[in-house]
Amino acid sequence: MGRSPYCENAGLKKGPWKPEEDQKLLAYIEEYGHGSWRTLSAKTGLQRCGKSCRLRWTNYLRPDIKRGNFSLQEEQTIIKLHALLGNRWSAIRAHLPKRTDNEIKNHWNTHLKKRLTKMGIDPMTHKPKSHALCPSQLKDAANLSHMAQWENARLEAEARLVRKSNLHVSTPFQTQLGSSAAPARLVNKDLAPPPPPPPPLCLDVLTAWQGSFTNSTSMPSFQYNNGGACDETMGMRVEDHGFGKSNKFSELKEIIDAYNIGEVWKAENANVLLPNFMEDLSDLLFESSNELYGNSNNVVGISCYGDFEENNKIDSHWNNMVNLVNCSK
């Protein structure tokens, strides 16, 4: 297939946006939302291609963007997630909802990568460059590998959920970026106003890492929680967003039992089993939410919880590393 050039009409403008162009784009999106970016660029009278308009909106004009310096916590999050996910900026962005992937990528390339290098840490592997790994580091590496598998499975499941949902609607100033890493096709301004944006699905690898690990082979265990109260046990809990009222609850228990998820985590073929598990789980959650609330994807979620005090000990490798990096600023 022949590639279409970025801006196929030679007459289209490139380069930095002028304030009046921003105003035109903003005014249009405030009134109509954004549907087809190509159509939008034509309707606004902007001599810009649709792709350029989309980029300007998502990276700069969106009102929910946090600009300026990255906080310590944000930097720690980026470093940890980069260790888990690599250069998957959109996935990392999902954990820093007010930042754009471009901004995170720039910050990594211009600041964090150099800081790690200075510290003698390979920014790609997140391991010390000149030292053999000690046993505890090997354990951490094993954890990271499993967590990465889990996060990949989670992202795929999220994407599947969004794809299956027909909730492809946005209002002005509402985009897909804040709620999920999954793609979303937008928009029809003539439809009724959509419900508030869904809370992010949170089978959250970062929170799990911070809050739920006790040793190198323990995967946070799933709990069937039918009522909502959170006990002191470490693990993950399928949140009751009405799930307990659904007759799908017994099916959920069956799925979790069938996969014996606590053991799957340790299995050699976890990379195969986990995505299958997530697929079955997301299918069930999707069906359940439809059953209870009609066609909507904002009512189911998976959350994690744990004994944070105890688990703070676990994180020592990463915390030490991050602290070192911060001290070297």
Partner DNA sequence: AAAGGGGCCAACCGCCTCCAC
Partner DNA sequence: TGTGGAGGCGGTTGGCCCCTT
Using CB under 7 A, list all residues that contact DNA: 1, 3-7, 13-17, 35-38, 50-52, 54-56, 58-60, 87-91, 101-103, 105-107, 109-111, 114, 159, 163, 176, 181, 183-186
Helices (H), 168-237: 205-211
Which CB, 187 or 302, lies closer to DNA? 187
- Residue 117 C-beta: closest distance to DNA, Å: 11
Helices and strands (H, E) in the chain, number of each type: 14, 5
Of 75 and 103, the one with the shorter C-beta distance to DNA is: 103
Write down the least CB distance from residue 51 to DNA, Å. Answer: 7
As measured in angstroms, the least distance from the Cβ of 196 to DNA is 19
Closer of 201 and 236 to DNA (Cβ): 201
By C-beta, is 148 or 292 nearer to DNA? 148
Nearest distance from C-beta of residue 181 to DNA, angstroms: 5
Residue 41: C-alpha distances to residues 3, 5, 32, 171, 213 (Å): 21, 16, 13, 18, 49
Nearer to DNA, 112 or 302 (CB): 112
Tell which residue, 190, 196, 155, has the closest CA to residue 174: 196
Q: At 135, give phi and psi (nearest 5°).
A: -55, -40
β-bridge mates for residue 305, sequence order? 235
User: Is 127 in a helix, a strand, or coil?
Assistant: strand
CB of 80 to DNA, least distance (A): 16
Q: How far apart are CA 144 and CA 11, in angstroms?
A: 49
> Least distance (Å) from DNA to the CB of residue 24?
13
Instruction: Quote the CA–CA distance of 154 and 127 in Å, as a whole number.
Output: 25
DSSP reduced 3-state for 251: helix
Q: How far is the CB of 20 from DNA (least distance, A)?
A: 13
- Distances from the Cα of 133 to the Cα of 128, 141, 170, 217, angstroms: 8, 9, 48, 18
Q: Which is nearer to DNA, 30 or 257 (CB)?
A: 30
Q: If 0-12 CB within 10 Å is exposed, 13-18 middle and 19+ buried, where does residue 328 land? A: exposed
Nearer to DNA, 139 or 164 (CB): 164
Measured from the CB atom, is 160 or 317 closer to DNA? 160
Compute φ and ψ for 208, nearest 5 degrees. -65, -40
Min CB(151)–DNA separation in Å: 12
Q: Which residues contact 9 (CB under 8 A, 6 or more apart)?
A: 49
Residue 25, amino acid? L
Prior bond of 169 cis (ω within 30°): no
